[in-house]
Amino acid sequence: MRHGISDSRQRVERRLFDVHARLERARAELALAEEQLSAFEETAADLRTRMLVSETPLADREWNEARRHAEVMQRSRDAARQAVVELERAQDELLSRLVV
C-alpha cells in the first residue's frame, strides 16, 4: 500500500511541476499582453485626439483601426488572464492533494 501512495504522490508532483511551468509561461504572456494593450490604448487615444482636431476621413479611419486593434488586444489580454486564473486554481488543487 505504501508504494501506491508514493506513486500517487509522484504523479501529483509531476502534474504540479507541469502546471507550474505552464503557469509561469501564462504569466509571462499576460505581462506581455498587458504591455501591448497599454501601447495600443495609448496610440488609440492619441489618434482619437488627432481625429477630433482634424475631422478628416483619414484621421477617423486611423482612429477606428487603432481602436479595433486595442479591442483585439484586450480580448487577448483577458484570455491570458483567464488562463492564469485557471492554472492557479489547478496548482492550488494539486498542492492541496500533496498536503492531505
Quick one: cell of 72?
Answer: 483585439
Following CA atoms 67, 71, 77, 78 in sequence, which dihedral angle do they give, to the nearest 10 degrees?
150
pLDDT at 61 (0 to 100): 95
pLDDT at 39 (0 to 100): 96
Q: Which residues of the chain have pLDDT under 50?
A: 1
pLDDT at 99 (0 to 100): 78
In a 10 Å sphere around its CB, with 0-12 CB exposed, 13-18 middle and 19+ buried, how is residue 88 labelled?
Answer: middle
pLDDT at 7 (0 to 100): 80
pLDDT at 100 (0 to 100): 63
